[in-house]
Amino acid sequence: MRILIISAIAVLCSACATNQDSSSTESQSAIQPASETLLQPMPMPGGPWTSYSREQGGVSQHMWTANEGADVVRSSTYQGASNSSVELAKSTDDQAGAQKCETFGSSNASPSEENGYPTITWISSCQLNDGSERHLLNKVISGKTALYHFARSWNARPSSEQLGIWKEYFATVQVCDPGAKAENACGLFGTGI
């Protein structure tokens, strides 16, 4: 529920709008807490995207909207939520969705590891009382210093092609440790080489 509430607040109260340059294929966003780096390649599929950012109480929100707000990508970083259970994060998000939605569904998902960090990816769908729908592709990564939650949402059920494109993109969003020598290391992608 906390994740949905924070997301709603970020949508309603966001400031500092900027446009993402969709023509650049080389840029990437790196948000760097104490000992780890969040890698989110740019540009994202689709767009053009307008971005919004805000930080409040240890939560950093980055949102991108396109098509007059019909398409939304959200990246949330919860500082201090280190070594959190990705299964618990999914369960909490699912419980909040079930409470807010007239009809709610969430795919089964099993946790895995990327660069030595626990991660989970799933799809959820919500139909509200007014009949409107939201379909979300979610990814949560549990880092050493923070919990990272990504969500791509649509107002209508995405096609299998759209979903495939975004699953591929989400597979490139990672956390790594620039100082690590083994499984948590950033490698070439994380060093900018």
Question: How many other β-carbons are positioned within 10 Å of the β-carbon of residue 170?
Answer: 19
pLDDT at 11: 32
What pTM does this model have? 0.77
Question: How many other β-carbons are positioned within 10 Å of the β-carbon of residue 10?
Answer: 20
CA pair distance 152, 83, nearest whole angstrom: 23
**Domains detected in the chain:** 49-191 (3.40.1000.10)
CA pair distance 171, 40, nearest whole angstrom: 10
pLDDT mean values, one per 10 residues, the chain (193 residues): 36 34 39 69 92 92 92 92 89 94 94 92 95 95 93 94 96 86 60 35
Radius of gyration of the chain (CA): 16
Task: Report angle CA 110, 142, 154 to the nearest 5 degrees.
Answer: 65
Tokens of 121: 């990816």
